[in-house]
Amino acid sequence: MSILVDQNTRLLCQGMTGWAGTYHTNRMIQYGTKVVAGVTPGKGGKSHLDVPIFDSVAEAVRTTGARANASAVFVPPDRAAGAMIEAIEAEMPLVVAVTERVPVLDMIRVREALAGSRTRLVGPNSQGVLAPGVCQVGVMATDRAYRGTIGVVSRSASLTSEVISQLTAAGLGQSETIGIGGDPVHGMSFVDCLKLFFADPHTEVVVLIGEIGGTEEQQAADYIRVAGAKKPVVALIVGKHAPARRRMGHAGALVQDAPADTDSKIAALRDAGAVIAPSPHLVGVTTRDLVARRAA
């Protein structure tokens, strides 16, 4: 049983007929994800990758008898917010937006649409969600992932691939991996994901991958402290040597003042009881040693 995607996930892909949509939809199909529909305005009535294409999310849901229960957004940045809002208005339970560089003001509109809705949004700028061996929704690498009991939630796509490889090499499979995205305005947060992992009987340990910029890591620490560390958390925070007030990579990686810097985030999580991985190359070892101590 997974927390966001599983064998019952029936995926609709928005922007499926473009290059990126085609490539990654085909990867998801090959992985075993049930892709039931695509949406590209103006191409309704056609078929792509042996999947029916519709002009709108609402039409796809109606025509497929409400079988679609998740959406992946591969729409260009200038239209991505409209695609997300369309899926929200169609009451899609899960929307995963992999699109990068969505304007911040557009995402504020999306956040307003999310308020009070039935939709969980992952992203944008997300590598997606992966339940190893069961379902892939997104663009993440899958070759090193395998089924297990370690939950992973991350702001960084590249570090997620590295950490998954380390966990697998250490003999630790993953229950689910969630890339929340690194943009300053996005959907599900670290806290949202921790709540789901803490409630999941198949997840024993959570690995949290954070970075400079914003205060989501401190919010996660506050949640762990108040709710209690229901499960062990291993945290990696990167960006220690990033220069202040200079944007590093995507929009979320910007240190202005504490508490957006690495040291403040590490201190908050350590004080909340998380185990801090001292370096990106030691996450697998740190998690393996934690699991071994718990089993002793």
Q: Is 6 helix (H, G, I), strand (E, B) or coil?
A: coil
State which H helix or E strand residue 148 sits in.
strand 147-154
CA separation for the pair 191, 31 (Å, rounded): 29
Q: Nearest Cα to 159, choosing from 92, 52, 239?
A: 239
CA separation for the pair 176, 117 (Å, rounded): 24
241 counts as catalytic? no
Out of 24, 186, 241, 250, which one is annotated catalytic? Answer: 250
Count the neighbouring beta carbons within 10 Å of the beta carbon of residue 34.
16
What is the separation of C-alpha 243 from the centre of its chain, rounded to a whole number of angstroms? 27
Residue with tokens 């090499």: 169
CA separation for the pair 84, 126 (Å, rounded): 13
Q: Is the dihedral of CA 81, 87, 90, 94 positive or negative?
A: negative
Question: Do residues 76 and 20 make contact, with C-beta atoms less than 8 angstroms apart?
Answer: no
For the chain, what's the residue count? 296
CA separation for the pair 232, 204 (Å, rounded): 7
172 DSSP assignment: -
State the catalytic residues: 250
